[in-house]
Structure 1
Amino acid sequence: MITNGWLQRHQVAVYAVAVALAIGVGVGRPEAAPVIERFIDPVLAVLLYVTFLEIPFVRLRRAFANGRFMAAALGTNFLVVPVVVWGLLHLLPADPVVLVGVCLVLLTPCIDYVITFTELAGGDAEQITATTPALMLVQLLLLPVYLWLFVGPAVAEAIDAGPFIDAFLRLIVLPLSAAWLTEVGAKRSSKAAAWQETMAWLPVPMMGATLFVVIASQLPRVHDSLAQIAVVVPVYVLFLLVMPLLGRLVAGLFEMDVGESRALVFTSVTRNSLVVLPLALALPAGYELVPAIVVTQTLVELTGMVVLTRIVPAWLVSE
């Protein structure tokens, strides 16, 4: 019999099956991609809802008051990461389209499934949740500045804040509010309590579903441009290798405990690819390749996250 504990113990196998199925569908049935793409936001919202349900809101309120973690998360994402990205850009050809795509995705810290991956790695997920409003606001303000510095003013002026705000409301505020209402209701109603208990089964299956819809819907977009965008893959892999180590270093400097350290590692490395994709699609003519560059980072990162959920607790930030 499959139990919640069984799902937790075999989560990597569940994700591997989801990724394999997604690749099969993405390659074998590329015409299905537009239909599958419509499910990305709903599936991601449900994933975050069931993730938020696992975080008692009394602990979340305390997390908001943790100024040390907030400072470390903001400093790592908006001081350390830009320096790393600036260095990585020198490994790429001097093509503005490629540089814009890489900057767009690597300079924006994740605000959604980073919470789930942190939880799966035994990290302090409520700390990540508490930082999402600040991470969202600061990246909204600083992304045009970094693009202006790294690429030039023309692209910075083309960035619209609308998709950022819309994604934050749909993918963070709405699921978080629903989780809070469920938690309140569970204290007053046996039916709500039973609902909350049932939802505890869903984090692993919903992460598998998220991996499936993202990869199956976006792989055809990447597949058509493989020769042109292959150059960015080593840069994305290097980012995945470097940032967990730097995140761990910063956590040590701030003398964080195990849960906080793991949380800082994951917020350092995960990027906001699903949120910036609408921005990439909205760029002016001449930047048609940027969405494929962003999606490539999604595929590389999701694969890396499955590995990091094991490596971080077992080696990088062990008990």
Structure 2
Amino acid sequence: MTDWLQRHQVAIYAASVALAVGFGTGLPAAAPLFERVITPVLAVLLYVTFLEIPFTKFRRAFTNVRFVAAALGMNFLVVPVVVYALTRFLPREPAILVGVFMVLLTPCIDYVIAFTELAGGDAEQVTATTPVLLVAQFLLLPVYLWLFIGGEVAASIEAGPFVEAFLFLIALPLTFAWLTAVCAVRSDAGRRLERAMGRLPVPMMAATLLVVIASQIPRVGNSIGRIAAVVPVYVAFLAVMPLLGRLAGGVARMGVGETRALVFTSVTRNSLVVLPLALALPSSYDLVPAVVVTQTLVELAGMVVLTRTVPAWLVRTRPEPLSIPEVTKRD
């Protein structure tokens, strides 16, 4: 069953998105119900995500300082520069800017693993880097919002939702995943639980896409005229970041699997986990969730393309490191 789910996960995700769009457009009154279950569904998704790689391998992969440093550098040094440049073309509407910054400045920590694996990348290394990326984005996102939008707007965003999201979407799922792994080593019941949870990543990803998109499709539809401007920015981000990720892989002298992993962790964004934060913003920012979910829809379409073009064209072989041409001295 698990193998079947893995082989057909893209089709499952597509069906989930189609079902969500159907609910959102055909039964908009159900949107608040879907919205209420976003956080618990996300928490379960992250729990089973953290369980995908055994913690012994997790520790071993985390010692790959080169990859961790490259992932941090791409996501928190390179990406902010790219995002700042791309957003210069957007309307100066605070809700739109906050939504775009929130989603594009936060690297994905869930379905990036699946798409990396589909492209033949080092999914284990991406999984190992997930906690540090998650913690770093929660610490740095308020800083970037203050830098890019201004202190007045940043001050209107309360810290409470960030603390709550950290506890329920990072600390608890990671702790339960670690306890499950410990029990799996020590008892048969623990091993059975770990195997059972190992079947859930794809269904939980599909469930998350369903509740997230179905809850926000009415907002997207009602505000399409105002948020249409963000779509070219999201498409440009999908086009630019894979190229920069490949370049960084060459600079860091990474292998094929690591470079593909770096490409996907550089381009995929954390729209699903960011959405609860967007929903907790003041009423004057009620457009932000729709801006965030629009990125999800654009990115999922882009992933269908990237899972094929990255291994077939962008990172077919080990990237060549940059070299400085020799200058011949003249007498």
Would you say same fold, with TM above 0.5?
Answer: yes
Report the CA distance shift for 1:112/1:9 in structure 2 as closer, same or farther (over 3 A).
Answer: closer
Aligned to 2:322: none
Q: Which runs of 5+ in 2 are unaligned?
A: 318-331
2:144 to 135, 143, 146: 146
1:247 deviates by 1.4
Distance 1:161 1:74, change over 3 A: farther
Identify which range, 166-175 or 66-75, moves more after superposition: 166-175
Q: Per the alignment, in what secondary structure is the counterpart of residue 160 of structure 1?
A: coil
Q: How does 1:282-297 map to 2 (within 5 A)?
A: 282-284=280-282, 286-297=284-295
Aligned to 2:207: 209
1:35 partnered with 2:25: no
1:230 pairs with 2:223: no
Q: Identify the range of structure 1 (309-318 vs 15-24) with the bigger mean alpha-carbon deviation.
A: 309-318
State how far apart, in whole Å, the 1-side matches of 2:38 and 2:314 are. Answer: 31
Identity rate of aligned residues, in percent?
Answer: 71
The 10-residue stretch of structure 1 (69-78 or 112-121) with the greater mean CA deviation from structure 2: 112-121
Two-structure CA RMSD over aligned residues (Å): 2.5
Give the 5 Å matches for 1:113-262.
113-262=111-260
Q: State the distance in 2 between where 1:44 and 1:82 align.
A: 25
CA contact (8 A) 1:144 1:157 kept: no
- SS of corresponding position for 1:90: helix
Q: Give the one of 26, 46, 68 matched to 1:70.
A: 68
1:103 equivalent to 2:98? Answer: no
Amino acid at match of 1:22: A
SS at match of 1:69: helix
Q: Normalized against structure 2, the TM-score is what?
A: 0.85
Report how far residue 29 of structure 1 moved. Answer: 0.6
What amino acid does structure 2 have at the position aligned with 1:38?
R
Q: Does 1:303 align with 2:293?
A: no
Higher deviation after alignment, 55-64 or 257-266: 257-266
CA contact (8 A) 1:104 1:276 kept: yes
2:329 equivalent in structure 1: none
Matches of 1:95 and 1:180, distance apart in 2 = 43
- Check conservation: 1:211, 1:302, Cα contact below 8 A: no
Structure 2 contact 180–194 (Cα < 8 Å) conserved: yes
Cα offsets for 1:105-137 (capped at 9, x unmatched): 212223444344444544334433443444344
Structure 1 contact 101–291 (Cα < 8 Å) conserved: yes
Larger radius of gyration: 2
CA-to-aligned-CA distance 1:51-82 (integer Å, 9 cap, x gap): 32220211111233222122211211122111
- Following the alignment from structure 1 to structure 2, what is the Cα–Cα distance between the partners of residues 197 and 285? 43
Q: TM-score, normalised by structure 1?
A: 0.88
